[in-house]
Amino acid sequence: MFDTLSSRLETVFKSLRGRGRLSEADIDATAREIRVALLEADVALPVVRAFVAAIKERARGVEVSQALNPAQQVIKIVNEELIGILGGQTANIRLAKTPPTVILLAGLQGTGKTTLAGKLGMWLKKQGHTPMLVAADLQRPNAVNQLQVVGARAGVEVFAPEPGNGIGDPVAVARDAIAHARRNVFDVVVVDTAGRLGVDQELMEQAADIRDAVKPDEILFVVDAMVGQDAVSTAMAFLDGVGFSGVVLTKLDGDARGGAALSVAHVTGRPIMFASTGEALGDFDVFHPERMASRILGMGDVLTLIEQAEQAFDQSEAEEMARKMAASEFTLEDFLNQMLQVQKLGPIGNLLGMLPGMGQMKEQLAQVDDRDVNRVVAIIRSMTPGERRDPGILQKTRKERVARGSGVTVTEVNQLLDRFAEARKMMRQMAGGAGFPGLGRGKGPQARKQQKKGKGASKKGNPAARAAQAAQAKNKQPGGGAPGFGGLPGGPPPGGLGDVDLGALLKPGAFNPRGPGGR
């Protein structure tokens, strides 16, 4: 959603890099470019004015004029001001002292309130709560049925005493739901209310009546992030008519300019609490202003990537995978399991986009296709357990059978096997610390000392014996791998990624078993 804004800001920052000092003209030009970038992103004009004024004031101050690198200091200022516009700090739900905690969802029709109710219910369940969804939207056709379906998928109970489709009193349903929650020990109640195509008096009165009946602890205004400027005027109308304590952004995976996300929190003074980033029920999380600002500025979002990995990967499995890598026991079966676990994290292009620096490689990321991963999975699944454990037994007839079973050619099977062999070789090097400072036998002083000491070892005089000794030393696998590195939860190696070229992994066809130019 923020690709256009990120690209414009990246262009602005490139013009600043390498300058020893910034003149008044430089600051004015930078502020002007940032203003244009924000206006093109459909950010509300009052927000743009406040943002640019704050940047110009701070850029002319001591923190930039006396900085060793003024350009980087300006980027730091932009990052901090962007965090401020997005709400400043991460906001949490206020839980009631006496359960149940009541959360009321309000917003226009089409913003995704009903689906969001299911996402919020599933998220609350993962946090250890016992949530219940309330079908108080009795006007939109099949709204009650939709909430029941979403609740069943999320594994959350739905209170729906009325069929809806214009039948029933939503205020009475909401009131009865609180009594039902107390009797059945539900500690959080999420009330899904009706919306309209536009703001009108009837909508506001009904939402206000439900609010007065259930006295919610949180009123969340659900806004479609693709709407643009209208989101700001709608938010102000709801703030005046009903009031709300937080904002939820939906459809952040869209290709709109995203100005609403940068405007609503600043204009209303209410924090953005949650964000929905996809169609799946799991595409929902707490909104972190600092992480969103980091993504917009192309700095990545490693913390979110780590959190997602911790949820998707089992720690014991990750440690076992790391042990296998270190012991050269990593098989195609293990590779298949890793691929399936990575798929749980979402589209691979999105995951790579969370890495720092990847914002400058948007074209390469756009070429990463998850269907290529599905082809790899199909090829491996077409093999027998014995073939997965020992790919060396895959001769011509076996490869032909695997190719027929997965709908690919023998050439593509060979390419996958070659890639797997290369990957396993790299894993052995990583497990041994080759090229990774701080990992096992890295490039540190102690490692160099050991290498120097090793050079003095005696060598056989016989050429054949000397060759055998060299082969034995080459195949010997040192220990000291990094537990958890193979499964992400353990995090990156302490010394970083050394000289590994991440860009090479993103070349067209790098994820494609067909190679460059494959379909």
Region at 339 (left for phi over 0; alpha for psi -120 to 50; beta for the rest): alpha
Is 497 within 8 Å of 429 (Cβ atoms)? no
Which residues, other chains included, contact 415 with Cβ-Cβ below 8 Å and sequence gap of 6+?
513, 514, 515
Which residues, other chains included, contact 425 with Cβ-Cβ below 8 Å and sequence gap of 6+?
none
Give me the sheet containing 272-276, strands edge to edge. Answer: 157-159, 131-135, 188-192, 101-106, 218-224, 246-250, 272-276, 284-286
- List, in sequence order, every residue forming a beta bridge with 275; answer none if it has no partner: 249, 285
Is 142 within 8 Å of 117 (Cβ atoms)? no
Q: What residue type is 398 in one-letter code?
A: R
Q: Per residue in 268-307, is it b (16+ CB within 10 Å) or e — as a string?
A: bebbbbbbbbeeebbbbbbbbbbbbbbbbbbbbbeebbbb
- List, in sequence order, every residue forming a beta bridge with 423; answer none if it has no partner: none
Distance CA 450, CA 459 (A): 17
Q: State the binding site.
A: 107-114, 192-196, 250-253
Q: State the binding site for GTP.
A: 107-114, 192-196, 250-253
**Which of the 8 DSSP states describes residue 92?**
-
Within 10 Å of residue 393's Cβ, how many Cβ atoms? 11
CA nearest neighbour of 354 among 280, 294, 312: 294
CA nearest neighbour of 191 among 282, 281, 100: 100
DSSP 484-509: TGGGSTT-S-TT--TT--HHHHTSTT
